[in-house]
Structure 1
């Protein structure tokens, strides 16, 4: 007998039950995605916050330019705290405000620019305006020549070194460099960060060193405590398979709790001794295994594929591999576990980005079977070809015994838990964007062509389509089904162009009493 559903049953922190009531709705519920300025990918509230912080920094810098130089230096150091906290795996900012990884990267870059600007201002004010000690200005305004060659030359050159390192770090992090030489960029980024912290320590910027120490503690907690100790027994039981589509399936015995939409960081020594890679969890919390799907798109993932093919133990599937992981990490910035906040869900995925959304879809389906009130759940998936679709939706991937029955969601009702899910409540629309023909066919168990695939048993009410999805039509259909009142939870994961379309459509469709609240994930 299944336990009846109750709100927040997946919460691992008591705070999560009340955070959406404590934190202003404009932040926690992500309503600020409507309206948004799509050219730069920012929302009105994000722009407002950035303008206020920038203006506040400028005003504070001007007021402190005639004050003792250490005061402006402390302000410059302060911006390093959010700079490091935002990129922590267990970031308190993400925990409290529900900021996604994608938005954390934006704010990380913003605070880097702010820290650089204030560091430059700190140096200029030290040379031309601020007194260098507390006795009030006998050494005020020494100028560049005297400052760089006199008794303060040590501070001058270490400060200049910090600024130069920050400029190199920021310039080398522009999207083309970060996208096409990711591994080299990542190593350079870490080396420059360590160099900047060392120089800051010499300069006397203790706050920067403290913020970096917190960041390192977070990394060590994941790498050493979780990956190499807490979950080390699971590493010896990991299995890996190379699928028909070229994707890699990596699975572990499920011995930890997680929520849909979370991800884990994987370390495989036989592929690389020094790299952890983040992957969304494809499994549902009720599955027997913890699985991830990996697209061979970079050096590390392609090396993993080669490692599998050359393994003497590989015989087509489920080859043993030594793999470690830490997590789960991340949270959704929507109050989706509430009983009253959301009863309609729109899940939009592109390519391999659909994996966390399938986890959501199946989890909501299981909750509906246990009594959760659900009005509509629509999954829209844009995928290149049917081989990828069938591999991702292979029911054996998730090892759920109920999936062997094509109508398991209808047959699981009992006297104690009489909740039968209607096919009208759950829909999955799969769009093959590069079809081989206008008619999508599969081979059934008898080797005959069929318009239904074995994957259809995993989801409810599956519709196979060719071509791209019409987001405007789908959002409008959902809006009309809301009868002019309510909120829709929109979760998206996929390429940048697709997620921008989702945001734009959610903004334009939020009318007539219906609001689309958006949470996006996009890993670089």
Structure 2
């Protein structure tokens, strides 16, 4: 998710990375390597089992699914056997419904407004019924009954902002960033419903059917004005340019809405506040402190005399890679306590530096793979908050300890297409623009580990495409310490368990291929980007997305497959073109081009 500040996200987001920690068996220490290997294996290896398989005939429809968990989330020992089976069947059913019905994209609507068939079948009918019912009650001057629709709307607005909603995620595949879309949608609908409720009151007063109720009128007006103000101050422009102001105003107006709405009589809305409050208590009072300070109990050694968190200040390092890019990392597992940070590929977290502001939590994609030994972020300085992060990085370009405390909340989100299930996809296309390469790097590394370490032979082809504005941006994300020294690991996947691993100079090219596009720079023979990188660079050009997808679709058809996984993160224009092209080619080629798009802001 990169766009926080709102644009300060790390994915992209939605919305940046470079060193990867790798373990040395001989020394027993973790070594810091400030390079960005596209493929980096580790000793960790898990096997997944699947109860379902994709069957059926291609209907010529592309699908872009809701974000959420996959069956790969189920890990042995966390559930009893019968609960494991039940959950797998529920998740399998949800994925099938998403692929075949609710996640089916609609021309224009999906690429421009992120609306899919499920929205037309469920969301908009519900909204239409609520507004039509409220309008009828308002025209009938039924003041009491017309207050129910806005109360229901307010209840939904509160429920949809709960970050750790496991039921919503497991059953509907609706992760937090996607739920925020509906949070904002129903916030607008609630303002309309509240306005119709006020109209019913005014009409009833005009016809002399209702005496003046000073308290009701005052509380209702204050709540309505506060809701309108919240809506206006939540626009993308305000959030991106004045994020701190947006957060403070949102909290203040939220209190006004809640208090005056309840006094007015909308007590049902409190049912949405309770899970939101419990979620916030869990995040801020338990999970964030555990990451920073360690848990009271350690699963391996019982009660600990000293608590040490995996994201404790002395575990976090920071380095400035370029004039506007910072890399932050910490060990995935702390060596002395075994405290760990668990996540899935493609997820993101919220970062907060209390020294800047305790209210500002910005989303950043995790640019490392769960199979690597370090958790990494790459942050591009776009807004005020990220520029402050850039300022605290060591000025000499060397890696150093983070000079102040950083808090982490997450992970959140997930991929909206089920790449975890080997039975679904064998062909993958990953498209990224600029700093949007961060989630695509994580996913590509994970796919490589699945293919060669876990022997997932179902993976036939992976195409990675990265577009940058100039060669300096590319070099900053690849080079070590933003200097001329470049790591050989960028194109070589080495495993501690094997003396030799496949590189992109031999058999790996049969399955994994990489293309880099530099749109505004010229080649420089005296200052190459990196070994084996320059030969893959295409200057002054942009990728032909239609051609790339068509070629991958033809390869999939030759292998007897009916689906191609398309993952994209970058500028809006790139994502819109990718979605629109996928829809068109799906109809034309009688294939499913299933698209997961990672947004820069939410």
1:240 equivalent among 293, 314, 318: 318
1:371 pairs with 2:455: yes
Moved more, 208-217 or 161-170: 208-217
SS at structure 2 position matched to 1:331: coil
Per-residue deviation, 1:297: 0.6
1:42 pairs with 2:115: yes
For each residue in 1:394-440, what CA deviation from the matched residue of structure 2 results, as whole angstroms up to 9, or x when unmatched? 5899xxxx97596446996699xxxx9631211122212222x1x36
The equivalent residue for 1:424 is 510
1:489 pairs with 2:576: no
CA separation of 1:96 and 1:495: change in aligned 2, threshold 3 A? farther
- Contact kept, 8 Å, 2:320 with 2:397, in 1: the verdict is no
- Contact kept, 8 Å, 2:247 with 2:359, in 1: the verdict is no
Moved more, 19-28 or 503-512: 19-28
SS at structure 1 position matched to 2:564: strand
1:117 equivalent among 188, 192, 204: 192
1:27 pairs with 2:98: yes
For each residue in 1:464-499, what CA deviation from the matched residue of structure 2 results, as whole angstroms up to 9, or x when unmatched? 222221111111111111117411122222222221
Distance (whole Å) between structure 2 residues aligned to residue 185 and residue 427 of structure 1: 43
Moved more, 90-99 or 244-253: 90-99
Per-residue deviation, 1:354: 1.4
1:104 pairs with 2:185: no
CA separation of 1:109 and 1:440: change in aligned 2, threshold 3 A? farther
2:531 equivalent among 453, 474, 478: 453
1:475 pairs with 2:549: yes
CA separation of 1:45 and 1:283: change in aligned 2, threshold 3 A? same
SS at structure 2 position matched to 1:345: strand
Per-residue deviation, 1:225: 1.2
User: TM-score of the superposition, structure 1-length normalised?
Assistant: 0.83
Alignment of 1:221-370 (within 5 A): 221-232=282-293, 233=309, 234-236=311-313, 237-254=315-332, 255-309=340-394, 316-321=398-403, 322-369=405-452, 370=454
Distance (whole Å) between structure 1 residues aligned to residue 447 and residue 175 of structure 2: 21
For each residue in 1:216-274, what CA deviation from the matched residue of structure 2 results, as whole angstroms up to 9, or x when unmatched? 33233222311123443222211111113531111112122211110111122233333
The equivalent residue for 1:459 is none
CA separation of 1:28 and 1:332: change in aligned 2, threshold 3 A? farther
Moved more, 508-517 or 85-94: 85-94
Distance (whole Å) between structure 2 residues aligned to residue 6 and residue 202 of structure 1: 52
Alignment of 1:45-56 (within 5 A): 45-56=118-129
SS at structure 2 position matched to 1:468: coil
Moved more, 388-397 or 321-330: 388-397
Distance (whole Å) between structure 2 residues aligned to residue 25 and residue 56 of structure 1: 28
Alignment of 1:182-193 (within 5 A): 182-193=243-254
- Contact kept, 8 Å, 1:36 with 1:44, in 2: the verdict is no
Moved more, 66-75 or 325-334: 66-75
RMSD value, Cα: 3.4
Distance (whole Å) between structure 2 residues aligned to residue 252 and residue 228 of structure 1: 16
CA separation of 1:238 and 1:169: change in aligned 2, threshold 3 A? same
1:216 equivalent among 268, 271, 277: 277
SS at structure 1 position matched to 2:557: coil
- Contact kept, 8 Å, 1:161 with 1:199, in 2: the verdict is yes
SS at structure 2 position matched to 1:23: helix
The equivalent residue for 1:445 is none
Alignment of 1:360-439 (within 5 A): 360-369=443-452, 370-372=454-456, 373-393=458-478, 404=489, 407-408=492-493, 422-435=508-521, 437=522, 439=523
Distance (whole Å) between structure 2 residues aligned to residue 41 and residue 78 of structure 1: 24
The equivalent residue for 1:134 is none
Distance (whole Å) between structure 2 residues aligned to residue 16 and residue 504 of structure 1: 34
Distance (whole Å) between structure 1 residues aligned to residue 448 and residue 251 of structure 2: 42
In structure 1, list runs of 5 or more residues that go unmatched. 129-140, 442-447, 457-461
Distance (whole Å) between structure 2 residues aligned to residue 411 and residue 450 of structure 1: 29
2:159 equivalent among 85, 97, 100: 85
- Contact kept, 8 Å, 1:100 with 1:520, in 2: the verdict is no
2:147 equivalent among 73, 78, 81: 73
The equivalent residue for 1:464 is 537
The equivalent residue for 1:508 is 584
- Contact kept, 8 Å, 2:432 with 2:570, in 1: the verdict is yes
CA separation of 1:491 and 1:315: change in aligned 2, threshold 3 A? closer
SS at structure 2 position matched to 1:510: helix
- Contact kept, 8 Å, 1:36 with 1:507, in 2: the verdict is no
Distance (whole Å) between structure 1 residues aligned to residue 233 and residue 390 of structure 2: 29
Distance (whole Å) between structure 2 residues aligned to residue 476 and residue 405 of structure 1: 28
Aligned residues, how many? 487
User: TM-score of the superposition, structure 2-length normalised?
Assistant: 0.73
- Contact kept, 8 Å, 1:100 with 1:332, in 2: the verdict is no
SS at structure 1 position matched to 2:318: strand
Per-residue deviation, 1:362: 0.4
Per-residue deviation, 1:45: 3.8
